[in-house]
Structure formats: structure tokens, C-alpha cells
Amino acid sequence: MVVEKEGTIIPKAPYDFVKTLTFLRKFPPSKEEQARNTYTKAIMIDNQVILFELFSKGDIEKPQLIYRLYSDTDMTNERIAEAIKRISFFLSLYDDLNPFYRLSKTDPTFYPICQRLYGYHQVKFLTAFENACWAILSQRTPVHLARSIKNELASAFGKSIKRKNCTHIAFPEPQHVLNAQEDEVLKVVRSERKVNYILSAAKRFAEVPNTFLMEEDY
């Protein structure tokens, strides 16, 4: 039985969810994760898979994002709060762009570009480890092939959740990759050099919590 939770996130205005979806549709690792007006993705938090759905209820100057969380097991308040924190970080929902917009008015060349992208907040990867894996897999590799291998990596070592007859796969945490046999990783990645890079990255990322990478000072 799938547990469902719903709530509202108030991004820092201006925020345009349509521009977020537009970017995600064009970004190879995120293709096929969004419908026309919604975004759906599975994440893993301390070995629990949580599926989130997002859609906009507000407007650019008074934005509201409705979230729905789903999991096969009960979600504690702490786990829900962590999921919301991950979503907010992933979409840069709380970034204050107003000083940037004011500064852009002093640059006649850049200002039209800034106006065209008004309300867009920079989309990130959900975790630094996923970002590192994509950087490794996409080296000297056609984008469509790198995306396919990344999806295979998630299928092999991540976890999944089903909703409405669709299977959503959460990218593995570093320890899940480290727990696998090296030849299993090689079978997916098909490059000894990249396997070494991924395992080295997994070892380092496993040494620090994700919150450290998100919140600590540079």
C-alpha cells in the first residue's frame, strides 16, 4: 500500500515553474520525468524510496508548488522534511534572484536575456553523487548513450517504487554502489576507467552526509 502526503512549498518569488519544466525537458538526465504541467521523480533518503510529484498552483510573483509524496512505507515527519529540503535544493526554490535582476539592468546586453529567463531558478542534481556520476559517464560519450548507462546504473543499484502502473527508479546512494561487486558495476558502465572513477567518488561521498555537501560553508 502506498502512503501519500501532500503539502505546499512557497518558492522565493519570482519563480516560474514552466521554465523549470522547460529546462528539465531539454536536460538529458531528466528527460521522461515530466508530464505537461507536472514533474515526477523518485529519490532515496536513508534507504527509503520516496516519489514526489510537483505542480504549480500560483503565479510567477506569488508562486506556490503543490507536492505529493508517495512511499511504500510510512514516512516520518523528519523524512518528509528531508524530502522537501531535497526538492527545494534541487530546484533552487529559495534562491533570492532579486539582487541579480537589479544588477542586470546595468548591463544592456545581458538584460534582455535576463528578462527572457525571468523567474527561472537554476535546476541542480538531487545529490552531488548523482552529479559526479553523470560527469563521469558523459565524458567522451554521446549524450544519449550516457543517459542510457546512467539509467542502467540506477536500475541495477538503486531502488524503485510503482505508481499508476509506472515504475520510478531512485538513483542509488553511494553505499549501494560500494556494496556491489566491481564486475557488476563494470557490466553496466562498460569502462574500467569510469568504474574506477565512480567507485572512488562513491567512497568519498559515502564518508560525508548529503546535508554536509548541501549546507556547509565553502
**Residue-wise DSSP of 127-190:** SHHHHHHHHHHTTTS-HHHHHHHHHHHHHHHSEEEEETTEEEEEPPPHHHHHTS-HHHHHHHH-
- Structural contact between residues 6 and 68, judged by C-beta atoms closer than 8 angstroms: yes
Task: Kindly indicate the confidence band of residue 215, based on its pLDDT and cuts at 50, 70 and 90.
Answer: confident
Lowest mean pLDDT among 8-17, 19-28, 182-191, 195-204: 19-28
Within-domain flag for 121: no
Query: Which of 64, 81, 116 is the last residue before a domain boundary?
Result: 116
Q: What is the pLDDT of residues 19-56, one digit of tens each?
A: 999 999 999 887 666 777 899 999 999 999 999 999 99
* pLDDT above 60 (res 1): no
Q: Are residues 17 and 110 in the same domain?
A: yes
The per-residue pLDDT for 31 is 66
- Whether residues 8 and 112 share a domain: the answer is yes
List the alpha helices (DSSP H) in the chain. 17-26, 77-90, 98-104, 111-116, 128-137, 143-157, 174-178, 182-189, 192-205, 210-215
Of 116, 136, 169, at which residue does a domain stop? 116
Tens digits of per-residue pLDDT, 56-114? 999 999 999 999 999 999 999 999 999 999 999 999 999 999 999 999 999 999 999 99
CATH of residue 108 = 3.30.310.20
Asked if residue 11 has pLDDT above 80, the reply is: yes
What is the residue type of 170? Answer: A
Cell 557490466 belongs to residue: 187
Q: What is the pLDDT of residue 154?
A: 98
State the residue range of the domain holding 36: 3-116
Mean pLDDT of 175-194: 98
For 125-173, the pLDDT digits (tens) are 999 999 999 999 999 999 999 999 999 999 999 999 999 889 999 999 9
pTM over 0.85: yes
The Cα–Cα gap between 197 and 179 comes to 16
Please give the Cα distance from 96 to 59 (Å, whole number): 16
pLDDT reported for residue 76: 96
Q: What pLDDT is recorded for position 32? A: 62
pLDDT score of 23: 95
Using pLDDT thresholds of 50, 70 and 90, give the confidence band for residue 214.
Answer: confident
Domain boundary pick from 51, 86, 116: 116
User: Structurally, how many domains does the chain consist of?
Assistant: 2
Task: Looking at the structure, tell me whether residues 7 and 111 fall in a common domain.
Answer: yes
